[in-house]
Structure 1
Amino acid sequence: MDLPGGGHDDHAFLASVSITHVQYDEDDVVALVMAYISLLPIFCLAAYAVLVLFQRDAATIVALAGQLANEAINYALKKLVRQPRPVSALKHGGYGMPSSHAQFTGFLTTYTAIALLTRVTWRQTRWKAGVLAGLATAGILVPVSRVYLRYHTAPQAVVGTVVGVGVALLWHVAVARRILPLPLWVRRHPITTFLLIRDITLVPNWLQVSYDLANRLADQHQKTQ
Structure 2
Amino acid sequence: MASDDHRVPDVEWVALKSAFVEYPKGDMIGRVLAYICLSPILIFSGFVTLILFRRDLHTVLFFVGVVGNEFVNLILKHLIAQPRPDHRSTGMIDYGMPSGHSQFIWFFAAYVAYFVFVRLHHINNNTTLEYFWKTTIVFGSFFVAILTSIGRVYLQYHTWQQVACGMLLGIVNGSIWFALVHFAFTPYFPYIASWRISEFMLLRDTTLIPNVLWFEYTNAMRESRTRGRKLVSMKSQ
Q: Which residue of 1 aligns with 2:103?
A: 103
Q: Deviations over 1:127-152 (max 9, x none)?
A: 11111111111111111111111100
How far did 1:175 drift?
A: 4.0
Q: Distance in 1 between matches of 2:34 and 2:177?
A: 29
The equivalences for 1:36-185 within 5 A come to 36-89=35-88, 91-92=90-91, 93-120=93-120, 121=123, 124-125=129-130, 126-185=132-191
Match for residue 213 of structure 1 among 219, 226, 232: 219
Query: What is residue 235 of structure 2 aligned with on the other side?
Result: none
Q: Secondary structure at the match of 1:180?
A: helix
Distance 2:157 2:14 in 1: 17
Aligned in 2, Cα 1:219/1:7: closer, same or farther, shift over 3 Å? closer
1: CA distance between counterparts of 2:138 and 2:200?
35
- SS of the equivalent of 1:85 reads coil
What is the aligned counterpart of 1:195 among 197, 201, 223?
201
Worse overlay, 56-65 or 24-33: 24-33
What CA deviation, in whole Å up to 9, does each residue of 1:84-118 have, x standing for no partner? 10112253452000000000001111111211112
Alpha-carbon distance between aligned partners in 1 of 2:152 and 2:137, rounded to the nearest angstrom: 23
- 1:16 is displaced (CA, Å) by 2.4
Separation in 2, partners of 1:14, 1:197: 41
8 Å contact 2:22–2:34 — kept in the other structure?
yes
What is the rounded CA distance, in whole Å, between the counterparts of 2:203 and 2:83 in structure 1? Answer: 42
CA RMSD, Structure 1 to Structure 2 (Å): 2.2
Q: Deviations over 1:162-192 (max 9, x none)?
A: 1011001111223442111434432211111
Distance (whole Å) between structure 2 residues aligned to residue 202 and residue 133 of structure 1:
26
Consecutive unaligned residues of structure 1, counting only runs of 5 or more, are 1-5
Aligned counterpart, 1:24: 23
Q: CA deviation at 1:220?
A: 2.1
Rg comparison, structure with higher value: 2
For residue 13 of structure 1, report the CA deviation from its aligned partner: 8.2
Equivalent residue letter for 2:116: L
| Number of residue-to-residue matches in the alignment | 218
The answer to whether the Cα contact below 8 Å between 2:119 and 2:182 also exists between their aligned partners in 1 is no
| Aligned partner of residue 188 in structure 2, secondary structure | coil
Q: Deviations over 1:43-83 (max 9, x none)?
A: 11100101111111000000010001100100111011111
Q: What stretches of structure 2 of length at least 5 have no aligned partner?
A: 1-6, 233-237
Q: Where in structure 1 do 4 or more consecutive aligned residues deviate above 4 Å?
A: 6-9
**What percentage of aligned pairs have identical amino acids?**
33
Verify the 8 A CA contact 2:110 2:171 in the aligned structure 1. Answer: yes
Structure 1 residues 27 and 187: alpha-carbon distance in aligned structure 2, compared to 1, 3 A threshold: same
